[in-house]
Amino acid sequence: MNKRRVAITGVGVLAGPGVGAADFWKGLAVDPGAGHHDVKDWDPEPWIPLREHRRLDRFTQFALVAADEAITQAGTLTADPNRVAVSVATGIGGLFSLEELIFGAYQDDGRVSPLLIPMMMCNAAGAAISIKYGFGGPTTTQVVACAAGAQAISDAMRAIQWGYADAAMAGGSEAGIRKPTEAGFAAARALSPTLTARPFSADRDGMVLGEGAAILLLEEMEMARERGATILAELAGAASTADAYHVTAPHPEGAGAERAVRLALEDAGIEPEEVAYVNAHGTGTELNDRTEGGVFARVFGDRQPPLSSIKGATGHALGASGAIEAAASVLAITNEELPANIGTVAVDPEIPLTNLVLEPTPWKPGPVVSSSFGFGGHNTVLVISPPPV
């Protein structure tokens, strides 16, 4: 059986750099300075009425707004709504609501809202999108730490390729900039004490937190063409592996990550020398950056494509990060420009990367590798190509 091709026809994204794809893209070129990268002055009311958004956790609000942008850009779908999948990942879920539940439960009166459980549950964002648009296809929530957003997109791609769905809303959402999250990453020695992300830099000292959401609208290629949709890019391949090594540290040689990259290229039918850009995971931690740099040096040899991490601009949005980076990869194709590796002046000499993008750079779009790696040893890699001619 031949796999069906998958078109990307809509992109919705919001994160620290901006709300909406246009402002987000502009914000990727701006150094945000020190601090966690939240969505400033967030107000969901332009998209979600007050009565509704009061019943939704912040991460679900983010997902609905990103979905609205993606589906508006894509235009009217011709797919049967019961064959539209929804695949929306998160790492933590409704943390704001979870804190409220815990706080309320320990008060003398023990009063908590009856809505808190559906607000905090990890599948709330995917369920909200399914309900709003009447999409009755498989609706799933991937929770594989920082690989979750990419995994959600990969799973949705497979559903379309193998005929279980004809279209999908796929991505991730996270609103985890809270004291417990910050304290936990600090205790794990992953958080930057200066609260400045400098991926692959000689002076990097850890990650900073981000938040936001990205949703891609995926369609079976011929269906998209027949309805006259503007095809932004093609989701050409993906792969997932496990390190089977440690719950937080990556495999020291990056064995699982390297397998994921090579398998994703094989799945897409692309040779390493055809890759035109890598949107790297690049968290700014000592272990991730050194391991990931070694992986790409081995995969691409002395023909390394341009590479950058956007986490210097976005922070690390945990379970949403892979989806946000996939959105950035699509926008790099449509804008014919590579995003800069914000915060880095000089690459760590122990990291064998030779083509780091230090400022926004015009390019001729080609196949993009977008990599995501998560605690637990989860590795997910996407291959996104320019639209077919």
Catalytic residue numbers? 146, 281, 316
Q: How far is CA 191 from the centre of its chain?
A: 19
DSSP 8-state assignment for residue 139:
E
Nearest residue to 127 (alpha-carbon basis) of 161, 93, 100: 93
335: Cβ contacts below 8 Å, ≥ 6 apart = 25
109: Cβ contacts below 8 Å, ≥ 6 apart = none
9: Cβ contacts below 8 Å, ≥ 6 apart = 73, 74, 75, 217, 218, 219, 224, 229, 230, 231, 232
204: Cβ contacts below 8 Å, ≥ 6 apart = 192, 197, 198, 284, 285, 286, 289, 344, 348
Nearest residue to 167 (alpha-carbon basis) of 87, 232, 60, 73: 87
